[in-house]
Amino acid sequence: MADWVEGRVLERTDWTDTHFSLRVQANLPPYKAGQFTKLALVDGEQKVQRAYSFVNPPSAPWHEFYIVEIPSGQLTPRLGSLQPGDAVLVAANPTGFLTLDEIPAGRDLWMLSTGTAIGPFLSILADGEVAMRFDNLVLVHGVRFGRELTYQPLLRQLAERYGERFNYVPMVSREPWQTALPGRIPAAIGSGALERRVGLGITPSQSQVMICGNPEMVRDTQGVLLERGLVKNLRRKPGQISAENYW
């Protein structure tokens, strides 16, 4: 059973009509970049809860969560109505294994995400330890529509911080969008379009690949990478593919 602490909304950012972020003040134990916790609101005698990754680095004085509102959902419409000063319950037991200490050594780190699953990778990049582990950092963000390519101010900061070592690749699947790659991440790997865009190859000898997104994307991306000779990363047998479903 989760222990809960009462948090207080400090700030909200509305990215689109359905995508928003909440910065929350809550007294939580230390956690690692890439981990997640749960948010909850009381509904009668029950808590309606859902897991959300931290977008912020653990050193931040607040906790940030990136949320998409599901109109028919029990929780997200109510989270979407929260304003600064409002209370929200936060589970006091952050967890998750999509963290750098679970990733073997490599030259290149590929972070492949869809939708709000970009959150844990933003946390890892903002934390900074990743720069001591890998020479090249590739962040891929796949969305349906261009307006969902959120967190652009932070991405510009990361590009300035890491310079040529950092590659941000937006992908938009349902409409042409500026300089974004079209289609889905697994197809872009299969065709070689993603590697051509970045100028690096995804190889067993040089690459570590972290995947976070919807289950279909995770499954299909792993399948393409397995065909390329990469293997799943296990504690008892290190490999190159680490993945987490985002629901």
- What was the pLDDT predicted at 246? 78
- What was the pLDDT predicted at 89? 98
Q: Strand pairing partners for 19?
A: 68
Give the span between the Cα atoms of 209 and 26, in whole angstroms: 32
Exposed (0-12), middle (13-18) or buried (19+): which is 39, by Cβ within 10 Å? buried
> Would you call 234 helix, strand, or coil by DSSP?
coil
**Span 173-201, mean pLDDT?**
97
Read off the pLDDT of residues 32-85 as tens digits, 9 standing for 90 and up. Answer: 999 999 999 998 889 999 999 999 999 999 999 999 999 999 999 999 999 999
Average pLDDT, the chain: 97
**Span 19-33, mean pLDDT?**
98
Read off the pLDDT of residues 129-185 as tens digits, 9 standing for 90 and up. Answer: 999 999 999 999 999 999 999 999 999 999 999 999 999 999 999 999 999 999 999
Q: Looking at the chain, list the stretches that DSSP marks H as alpha helix, in order from N- to C-terminal side.
A: 76-80, 119-127, 130-133, 152-162, 185-191, 193-198, 215-227
- How confident is residue 15, by pLDDT bands cut at 50, 70 and 90? very high
Q: Which two tokens stand for residue 82?
A: 């929260």
Read off the pLDDT of residues 107-143 as tens digits, 9 standing for 90 and up. Answer: 999 999 999 999 999 999 999 999 999 999 999 999 9
